[in-house]
Amino acid sequence: MTGVEQILKDKGIILNREGMPRHIAIIMDGNGRWATGRGMPRALGHTQGYLTVRTISHAACELGLDALTLYAFSTENWRRPKEEVDALMALIEKAMRDEVPSYHRDNIRLMVSGCLQELPQSLQNTIAEVTRETSKNTGLVVNLAINYGGRREILEAAREAAKHACAGEIEPAEITEEYFSGLLYTRGLPDPDLLIRTAGELRVSNFLLWQIAYSELWVTETLWPDFEPADLIDAIMDYQKRTRKFGKVVQAK
């Protein structure tokens, strides 16, 4: 019996497999607060947060999700102390390399979204290597948002669309939502069905601004290092109780 199956059995619940979200996005908040609340350096909070990433990624795989997008580092996070940023970059690089065997075991493909050319060169090299190594895996896509900003993503896509139009490759009227989505960092992924935020903050923090237009939101007070597969299941259970209207009027059953 897998970990997820045991949790479902212990809770006495049955998930509606037909109503599962295909893509879940998570704003992983609370690493620093988790550490400082225990009298530890903030960097140790990020290390514990990485262990949670590992656990939740494999739980998402067991649940049969198509994609899991994790907000690892925003374009605004460069404002943090250099020591913390350097430690986080090193942790992300090490974690990527360490997880390759488990990604192959669970058929997980790694994807990275963001402005990658501004990252340390060694991290850029690791991203290129690990995404290439896992590119033939056909299961869950774990999409790490690194040096990611939603407004910047949209702006870059708009500039790319304008460049194509100016070059005569496409008429402005042909720039549809589908075409525009294909210019975003997340091209190829379905839009998130569910957006989870940990640590109780009620904002989206410049995350997937285009993609979450109709995502369901679920916020928990739990800090990210304390977030467990049982919490992920709770979020999915709540999601399955909702009626997604997409602007339509839905008749009561």
Question: How far, in Å, CA of 45 to CA of 51, rounded?
Answer: 10
Active site residue 143: no
**CB neighbours of residue 210 within 10 Å:** 16
* Alpha-carbon 55 to chain mean position: 14
DSSP characters over the chain: --HHHHHHHHHT----GGG--SEEEEE---HHHHHHTTT--HHHHHHHHHHHHHHHHHHHHHHT-SEEEEEEEEGGGGGS-HHHHHHHHHHHHHHHHHHHHHHHHTT-EEEEES-GGGS-HHHHHHHHHHHHHTTT--S-EEEEEEEE-HHHHHHHHHHHHHHHHHTTSS-GGG--HHHHHTTSTTTTSPPPSEEEE-TT--S-TT-STTTTTT-EEEE-SS-GGG--HHHHHHHHHHHHTS---TTS-----
From 10, 16, 31, 77, active-site residue: 77
Active site residue 77: yes
**CB neighbours of residue 161 within 10 Å:** 19
| Enzyme catalytic residues | 29, 77
